[in-house]
Amino acid sequence: MRHVRIAPLPDGYGYNLDPQPYRDALPGLLDALPPGARRFAADPGHYDFTGPRCVKDLTLARSTLTDSEGTLTLDLAFAPNEWKHPDALHLRYADVRAFRPDADEPDGLLPRLGALQLDELLPHRTGVSHELAFVCGTLTVHAADLTAAWH
C-alpha cells in the first residue's frame, strides 16, 4: 500500500496498523475517486478501530466474479467479527479491469487469507484501485467504481 502502514510486531503476534498517513492524504485524493469509492473511503468510521463500520477484522466470506453484457462485476461479501461488527459488509465493483488475490502459504490453523487488517482506495486510470491487506495475503481490485453496503 502506498500510504497505509502495516508492520508485524516484533514478537510475531499481531501487527502495528497505521492508517494516519492515508487519512492525511485522503482530502487530496477524494476528488479523483469515483463517487462510490469516495463515499466508502471518506466514511468517518472506516478506520475507527473500535467502531462498527471499521473494515479491520472482517473476513472474506465469498467472492463472485460475473461476466455479463460486456462488463465484469465483482461482489465481495465480508463476514462480521462477532465481537465488533453488528453487520456484514458487501462490496460490489463495477466494470472490473483487474482482480488479483495473493495468499501466503497457510499454516493450517487459520483461513487462507485470515482477517482483514486494513484497506486503501486510490484513484486509478480505470477509476479506483482498492487494495485490501489481510493477515495472510492481499486482494487488489481495479474497477470503474464500487458500492459499499453494511447489512
Q: Is 28 helix (H, G, I), strand (E, B) or coil?
A: helix
Residue pair 69/121 in contact by the 8 Å Cβ criterion:
no
Mean pLDDT to the nearest integer, 68-84: 94
Mean pLDDT to the nearest integer, 71-76: 98
pLDDT at 84: 87
Residue pair 81/115 in contact by the 8 Å Cβ criterion:
yes
pLDDT range class, residue 92, cuts 50, 70, 90: very high
Q: Tell me, what DSSP letter sits at residue 11? A: T
pLDDT in tens, 29-54: 999 999 999 999 999 999 999 899 89
Mean pLDDT to the nearest integer, 67-72: 94
Q: Is 82 exposed, middle or buried (0-12, 13-18, 19+ CB in 10 A)?
A: exposed
pLDDT in tens, 107-148: 666 667 888 999 999 999 999 999 999 988 999 999 999 999
- In whole angstroms, what is the distance from residue 117 CA to residue 115 CA? 6
Mean pLDDT to the nearest integer, 51-62: 93
Mean pLDDT to the nearest integer, 23-32: 97
Residue type, 115: A
Contacts of range 15-24, beta carbons closer than 8 Å, 24 or more positions apart? 15/117, 15/135, 17/49, 17/56, 17/117, 17/118, 19/47, 19/118, 22/47, 22/120, 23/47
pLDDT range class, residue 88, cuts 50, 70, 90: very high
- In whole angstroms, what is the distance from residue 80 CA to residue 115 CA? 10
Nine cell digits for residue 125 = 486510470
Q: What is the pTM of this model?
A: 0.90
Q: Could you state, in order of their start, the residue ranges of all structural domains in the chain? A: 15-150
